[in-house]
Chains A and B, each alone.
Chain A
């Protein structure tokens, strides 16, 4: 049953991901992205990574996508005021897309159908084990990434402060 659920959800995620790209309305695009993230959450649950699933759910679906939606709702994006794309941009777009296709084909060529991954410890995704891993062997990268986030936060605060000075 697990694999059939996986294929069903995987198809859904691919469809929704395509819809993100092809949707005309940016709001619809974001809503499809939310659905895509939701299917990812289901994938995590299928992998028994409950903590990751819930965090993906809360952080990406519950917070970040709300902010995306928030910003897009404030922008008045209509078809009328969409700037006309020049021929140069189209050429650049084609080249970039072509590069992506080549990379994808190249990486797909070396892919072999692997045996289904079996974890040594199937409960690795549970909170307790994940926490032990993160604060044990991966202590340093974990703390470094938190420092990175902190510096980003400080930067954001600084940006707002500078603007204030310039105004007043």
Chain B
């Protein structure tokens, strides 16, 4: 391993980490602003111009709060829970190809931490692991509401993982690869996967809402029934970790949706732009486009949250098992038939 390779990856990892945290920070601000605008209000506007320093103020508040560990809680697991939630949220971005290969000087830099050939399954696994943070935290709190919430989270995540996996299988039939790098580079220009897999995208998106515990599927933290859910006993930065992990998860799932179905860094007219900007700036421009798509998805997450009321638990389960899973299977069958027909005739 050459030293410059290590340095390059190191910089990339640090940058990714910083970007995810920054986006998560400002997602909290954006969430409050979007909620305010959708409800004809102004939102936070006191800290700095337009309230731009609000996340910092929130962070300081979180750090300054008293740290409370309930007397009968399992102390060790109580501390592991939020850490695990944060870890699973942060490692998902490692396999995302953020841009085309970039020329820096005379060096070809890959804007991807690692390209493992099961990248898609890796993300899927990390997402499925995220539920442990919630479950362990909820159980270790030694509180019945937290426990109920943890159990809700577990059953919800497992149910929607199935439909999500099935919708990914249909996508795999189209792309023929599990490597995210290849999936994204196949969608050159405007040849995005969403044109081939509209139903698959819809299923994937609904499941992403459920996996990130976002409204209308935020039953694990349903404050009307569970007094705040799995993080009820948490205070200070441990609570902050849970809330932060939710926003990072939202960022990661927006990224995955943008990469899998909306072309990632590809955009119409990219060849023209590549000629115009040269091999250093064109990939960066593509990355900027990628982030625009991600922000659009994050906005959509928020828009939905402030529009749709929460599902009831039986509605959630019947939607998952009786609605999405059969649809996803039908989607696989139809995709398979169409591919077989187009290949043979």
Contact = CB atoms under 8 A, between A and B. Distances in A.
Do chains A and B directly touch (beta carbons under 8 Å) in the complex? yes
Interface of A: 27, 31, 34, 50-51, 53-55, 57-58, 61-63, 66-67, 69-70, 73-74, 126-127
Contact of B117 (A55, A58, A126): A126
Contacts of B35: none
A61 B135 contact: no
Interface in B286-302: none
B131 A127 contact: no
B285 interface: no
Interface of B: 77, 116-118, 121-122, 124-125, 128-129, 131-132, 135-136, 139, 147, 150-151, 154-155, 157-158, 161, 178
Nearest to A53: B118
Chain A interface mostly:
helix
Contacts of B158: 63, 66-67
A51 B157 CA distance: 22
A73 B118 contact: no
A34 B125 CA distance: 14
Top 4 A-B pairs ranked by shortest CB distance?
Answer: A62-B128, A54-B121, A57-B125, A58-B125
B128 A73 contact: no
A127 B150 CA distance: 34
B118 A51 contact: yes
A127 B178 contact: yes
A58 B154 contact: no
Given A62-B128, A62-B129, A66-B132, A73 B147 contact: yes
Nearest to A66: B154
B135 A69 contact: yes
8 contacts: A31-B136, A58-B121, A63-B128, A66-B135, A66-B157, A67-B154, A73-B150, A126-B117
A73 B139 contact: yes
Contacts of A127: 117-118, 178
Nearest to B172: A127
A27 B77 CA distance: 10
A61 B117 CA distance: 20
Nearest to A64: B158
Contacts of A51: 118, 121
Given A58-B128, A63-B161, A66-B132, A50 B154 contact: no
A146 to B, nearest CB: 14
A50 to B, nearest CB: 5
Contacts of B154: 66-67, 69-70
